[in-house]
């Protein structure tokens, strides 16, 4: 029995989809990081009960923060992306969180994230007792993934495992790599990125839709461990959405765009490395918020278009709708274009 809903939400399900591919399915993945991060900050006296926690979110982080704050006796304020829909706003309201949603505009990933972070700083100046959770910068968000990594190692027990997942802030795949490799140094990690993301040098390639911005970056994220990634896959909306539909029709798993991208990459890895060990991809959330864009109820059940990636060796070779590169656990640096923003809050 779980002691709370937040505790239950922090624990994903591992599902065997056949052919050596597994999905690590979360209901709200960010609860895994937020639940442990907030408890760690409380235990160390960094924050105290009753204090307001604030951050920026494109959806599930804000929901997770509101859920955890309600359980642990804290207040919550979220600066929400234009992508946050009625279902998330409703949950924020009933969980007692307050929020401000940025207005629509250019649709630029950089513009949206930059505006939200500037609003956080303005809020902190007006509310100096509030605490910025810094989901884009603080690796305290790593700690919740230790138990997930240990569960994977216990269930699959393979030094040849490959983990596939969205990079986002780095607090999922970067964190999982740290804890998985503590037990199995040869675990491979493949990161998923949308075109237009700064984190792996795709900012010069046109972003095809803000809707997949949750796995990419418009500003510098300081808690990504670039040396964690063996491979990187850049996929556009159409490839990711097709992956969502095929995942649902062929396995029954109803999941969001990052999972659709992960399913595409996982199948490619299995095709090209048939003798490798288990391939595990992460599904961060279910597909409900994507129904109109990805699963139109009155649309046909299309066949799998069977996309294949273009293999590149240099970033300037990047091409859509899907390309992949052997990253080789190299380091990478993204210049900060927001000099007025102190990460100290």
Of the listed ranges 12-26, 70-84, 257-271, the least confidently predicted one is: 70-84
Q: What is the mean pLDDT of the chain?
A: 89
As a whole number of angstroms, the longest Cα–Cα distance in the chain is 57
Strands 21-25, 279-283: pairing kind: parallel
Give the bridge partners for 55, in sequence order: 78
Can you give the residue ranges of every domain in the chain?
5-30+140-326, 31-132
> Would you state the pLDDT for residue 214?
72
- Domain 5-30+140-326 listed as CATH 3.40.250.10: no
Determine the 3-state secondary structure of 135 from DSSP: coil
First to last CA, the chain: 39
pLDDT digits (tens, 9 = 90+) for 148-173: 999 999 999 877 899 999 998 888 99
- Note the pTM of the prediction, 2 decimals: 0.91
Closest CA to 269 of 227, 309, 319: 309
| In contact, 266 and 282? CB cutoff 8 Å | no
The mean pLDDT of 76-102, rounded to a whole number, is 89
Q: How far is CA 152 from CA 16, 163, 169, 186, in A?
A: 12, 10, 21, 14
pLDDT band for position 337 (cuts 50, 70, 90)? low
pLDDT band for position 115 (cuts 50, 70, 90)? confident
Output phi, psi for 192, to 5 deg: -105, 135
> Would you state the pLDDT for residue 158?
75
pLDDT band for position 344 (cuts 50, 70, 90)? very low
The mean pLDDT of 235-248, rounded to a whole number, is 94
> Would you state the pLDDT for residue 57?
85
The mean pLDDT of 9-29, rounded to a whole number, is 96
- Domain 31-132 listed as CATH 3.40.50.1100: yes
Taking 70 as the threshold, does the pLDDT of residue 339 lie above it?
no
> Would you state the pLDDT for residue 305?
87
207: left (phi over 0), alpha (psi -120 to 50) or beta: beta
pLDDT digits (tens, 9 = 90+) for 34-73: 999 999 999 999 999 999 999 988 788 999 999 999 999 9
> Would you state the pLDDT for residue 111?
64
> Would you state the pLDDT for residue 297?
82
126: left (phi over 0), alpha (psi -120 to 50) or beta: alpha
pLDDT digits (tens, 9 = 90+) for 287-329: 988 888 898 888 778 778 889 999 999 999 999 999 999 999 9
> Would you state the pLDDT for residue 53?
98
Can you tell me the distance from the alpha carbon of 131 to that of 140, in angstroms, rounded to the nearest whole number?
Answer: 14
Both tokens of residue 291? Answer: 């129904």
Q: Could you check whether 5-30+140-326 and 31-132 share the same CATH topology?
A: yes
Can you tell me the distance from the alpha carbon of 293 to that of 234, in angstroms, rounded to the nearest whole number?
Answer: 20
Taking 70 as the threshold, does the pLDDT of residue 342 lie above it?
no
Taking 90 as the threshold, does the pLDDT of residue 179 lie above it?
yes
């Amino acid at each position: 029995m779980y002691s709370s809903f937040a505790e239950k939400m922090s624990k994903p399900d591992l599902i065997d989809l056949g052919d050596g591919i597994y999905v690590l399915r979360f209901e709200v993945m960010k609860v895994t990081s937020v639940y442990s991060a907030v408890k760690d900050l409380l235990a160390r006296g960094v924050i105290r009960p009753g204090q307001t926690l604030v951050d920026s979110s494109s959806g599930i982080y804000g929901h997770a923060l509101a859920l955890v704050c309600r359980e642990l006796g804290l207040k919550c304020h979220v600066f929400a992306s234009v992508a946050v829909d009625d279902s998330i706003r409703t949950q924020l309201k009933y969980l007692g969180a307050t929020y401000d949603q940025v207005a629509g505009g250019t649709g630029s990933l950089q513009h949206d994230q930059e505006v939200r972070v500037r609003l956080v700083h303005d809020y902190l100046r007006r509310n100096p007792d509030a605490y910025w959770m810094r989901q884009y910068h603080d690796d305290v968000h790593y700690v919740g993934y230790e138990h997930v990594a240990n569960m994977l190692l216990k269930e699959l027990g393979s030094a040849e495992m490959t983990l596939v997942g969205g990079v986002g802030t780095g607090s999922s795949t970067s964190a999982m790599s740290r804890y998985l490799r503590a037990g199995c140094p040869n675990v491979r990690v493949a990161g998923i990125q949308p075109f237009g993301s700064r984190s792996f040098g795709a900012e010069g390639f046109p972003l095809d839709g803000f809707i997949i911005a949750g796995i990419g970056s418009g500003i510098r994220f300081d808690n990504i461990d670039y040396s964690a990634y063996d491979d990187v896959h850049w996929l556009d909306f159409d490839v990711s959405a097709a992956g969502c539909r095929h995942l649902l029709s062929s396995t029954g798993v109803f999941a969001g765009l990052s999972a659709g991208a992960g399913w595409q990459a996982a199948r490619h890895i299995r095709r090209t490395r048939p003798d490798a060990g288990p391939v595990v991809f992460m599904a961060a959330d279910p597909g409900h918020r994507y129904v109109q864009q990805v699963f139109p109820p009155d649309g046909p059940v299309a066949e799998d278009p069977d996309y294949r990636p273009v293999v590149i060796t240099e970033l300037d070779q990047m091409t859509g709708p899907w390309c992949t590169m052997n990253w080789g656990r190299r380091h990478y640096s993204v210049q900060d274009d927001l000099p007025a923003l102190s990460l100290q809050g």
